[in-house]
Structure 1
């Protein structure tokens, strides 16, 4: 199943030289930007990363995330955060565009972190990719070009400027996605729902059979969030239109699908890791939510 790829792992895998600041330690601020041409030659493994990445992809391929696969046949922006296990499988030799990567330490104040953490980049329910039109492509090309030039400069405050370019890019992405479902909410219900969704997402992915899911019910999450379960349920239903239990079941089902497809564990091991006391309980749960047994799903082409 997915493991966590560090920045060191990333540079080794792609045989790239990290910037000098990378050697200041694992907690040091990190930012880098590259053109994709000549770098994205092979498939990226299904992993979580311990960094953020914004990719502007020109080239055909398949983007795998959670239990989904999206066919990419036109320019697309892909947003990935440490919450999201994903992989990229190229389907054409033409792989152009750009990508930038950065860590939390690069966001050097709380306001900056809020911009990133409240954006689509970090929303667990947000679609991590979307296709862009010609005007949007021009803006992305321009911003990535500014980043590439600044990375080569000797300007004393280059990292402040790079940080500014990053924020502009995130805001451009938020503007591009204005017609989608992401809206910044300020109500108490929305804040509680965001806390619940973040806590839910932090339970995943399950990285080993010994990693047992700890929070499985609405009561578990309410207790962790220090609210009454009825209050949590009302807030989540008001903001998302789904119950707390529905969100939990959907996320467990999504993780089960990913484990069945990408892990070599037995069905029993998957059942136990997802908090089911007996494999039969897991079988019943999975069939209820997918209309398929775990064994049948594992051997299918879905």
Structure 2
């Protein structure tokens, strides 16, 4: 299944109209039972995850394989998975039984600005972390109670229910933090195809540019390598071996493609497009575009009007 790029798309994938969107005007939160979601998605067994806009904490029963860049992590019976919007991964069941719970929430749902700023630095969400944990059955049963409480509060009319829900989210995070030193389980190194796939996913996640305020966050090869928690030389070597393109060539080709689209489909000034594509100067963008396409942005755009 294609990964969702928005909350609306996510809810379309799991075939629900989401009665709890826009919680108390402080961000988004929801909680689900995996088995019920799977029944609604009988024709598409993979669990969707919006890797762009929100966090996800999953309590799992069954066998699963989770792939991060050059690592494979596995769950055999019971597990806890923490996912951040900033780090891509592949998540696949390896057994018929798939049950448990998961909750999703946005940065804005967190109780205060200080915590929101620190989220990406927490061990379970930090770059380079391996936040997949095998847990014993008794721990699974204890954590499942938290999710059941979430479901009860989400459906209640208690005035301060969202404060309770935030506390439950923090409780799950703290449980994960306690597991970090002893239960993180790393499997064998993966093939270069996984790194290539996750790099391309991370690159594509930045597009399309939908408005003049949007700006590329990952521009250099080192930015992608850092996000994938591998060395930039390793990333470059892998891409070269798998595709014959270097990291820089990949990035430049995709930026040039987006530049063409923006020149064709918008009336934005060239300077605005340059800024969206993370060029410090319009002249730098013009030189880049001419090198990639053989003509200047203005000439390219004017040719479309003939």
Would the aligned equivalents of 1:4 and 1:50 in 2 still touch at CA under 8 Å? no
Q: Is 1:167 the counterpart of 2:181 in the alignment?
A: no
Q: Which of 61, 76, 79 does residue 76 from structure 1 map onto?
A: 79
Q: Which residue of 2 aligns with 1:129?
A: 132
- Structure 2: distance between partners of 1:269 and 1:250: 11
Match of 1:207 in 2: 204
How far off its partner does 1:167 sit?
Answer: 0.8
Q: Distance in 1 between matches of 2:206 and 2:103?
A: 33
Q: 1:6 to 1:252 in 2, by over 3 A?
A: farther
CA contact (8 A) 1:117 1:123 kept: yes
Q: Number of aligned pairs?
A: 224
- Number of the residue aligned with 2:250: 273
Q: Residue 32 in 1 paired to residue 30 in 2?
A: yes
Of 95, 98, 101, which aligns to 2:98?
Answer: 95
**Alpha-carbon distance between aligned partners in 2 of 1:70 and 1:7, rounded to the nearest angstrom:** 27
Tell me the residue number matched to 1:65: 68
Partner of 2:157: 154
Task: Give the deviation of 1:4 after TM superposition.
Answer: 5.7
RMSD: 4.1
Would the alpha carbon gap of residues 127 and 29 (structure 1) be closer, same or farther in structure 2, given more than 3 Å must change?
same
Residues 16-31 of structure 1: pairs in structure 2 closer than 5 A: 16-22=16-22, 29-31=27-29
Q: TM-score, normalising length from structure 2? A: 0.60
Does structure 2 retain, via aligned residues, the 8 Å contact 1:64–1:70? yes
TM-aligned CA deviation for residue 49 of structure 1: 3.4
Offset at residue 45 of structure 1 (A): 5.9
SS at match of 2:144: helix
Q: Is the 8 A contact 2:111 2:166 kept in 1?
A: no
The two structures have a TM-score, normalised by structure 1, of 0.61
Please give the secondary structure, in 1, of the residue aligned with 2:37. coil
3-state SS of the aligned residue for 2:202? coil
Question: What is the alpha-carbon distance in structure 2 between the residues aligned to residue 154 and residue 212 of structure 1?
Answer: 40
